[in-house]
């Protein structure tokens, strides 16, 4: 029977380091999450200026309403993208263009032309995970752990 033991010295220093890291974690996470969500919004709704223009190949006019009505709400570490595009003629229509929070509801006519917001968030998050790991590692090193 083999027996192993571990002795931890400097526990106070470790505790102080972990506390400092925990205090910096929200700052690291907030900046990282905000960048991801901004990129996802740009991927799903690339035209944010709100200008109207014709799209001859699709036989309709873009009003810019979707871009003007899509925005991010930040509450603590909760990031929500809202899109409240509506017209007098058809009412609320954001979900038919960019889908709902589950990635569902996009109208067939918009497939391939608009990236559903859920897909955009998932794609941006996946692409940003290595950067997130690096940011967390920098935070750990900054507090001396």
List Cβ<8 Å contacts ≥24 apart for 59-62.
Answer: none
Between 12 and 105, residue with greater pLDDT: 105
Q: Residue 45 and residue 65: Cα distance in Å, rounded?
A: 11
| Residues 36-94: tens digit of each pLDDT | 899 999 999 887 766 666 666 666 677 788 888 899 998 877 888 999 888 888 788 89
Q: Which residue has the tokens 């692409």?
A: 127
Q: In whole numbers, what is the pLDDT of the chain averaged over residues?
A: 78
Q: What is the pLDDT of residue 58?
A: 67
Q: What pLDDT, on the 0 to 100 scale, is given for residue 128?
A: 86
User: What does residue 89 show for φ and ψ, rounded to 5 degrees?
Assistant: -75, -45
Q: How much is the pLDDT for 27?
A: 66
pLDDT of residue 2: 41
Q: Which pTM value belongs to this model?
A: 0.72
């Amino acid at each position: 029977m083999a027996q192993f033991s571990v002795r931890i010295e400097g526990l106070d220093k470790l505790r102080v380091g972990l506390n400092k890291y925990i205090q910096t974690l929200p700052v690291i996470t907030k900046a990282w999450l905000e960048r991801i969500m901004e990129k996802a919004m740009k991927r799903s709704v690339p035209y944010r200026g709100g200008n109207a223009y014709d799209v001859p190949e699709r036989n309709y006019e873009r009003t810019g309403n979707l871009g003007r009505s899509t925005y991010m709400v930040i509450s603590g570490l909760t990031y929500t993208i809202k899109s409240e595009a509506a017209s007098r003629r058809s009412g609320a229509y954001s979900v038919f263009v960019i889908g709902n929070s589950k990635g569902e509801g996009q109208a067939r006519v918009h497939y391939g032309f608009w990236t559903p917001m859920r897909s955009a968030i998932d794609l941006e998050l996946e692409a940003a995970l290595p950067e997130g790991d690096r940011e967390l590692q920098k935070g750990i090193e900054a507090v001396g752990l």
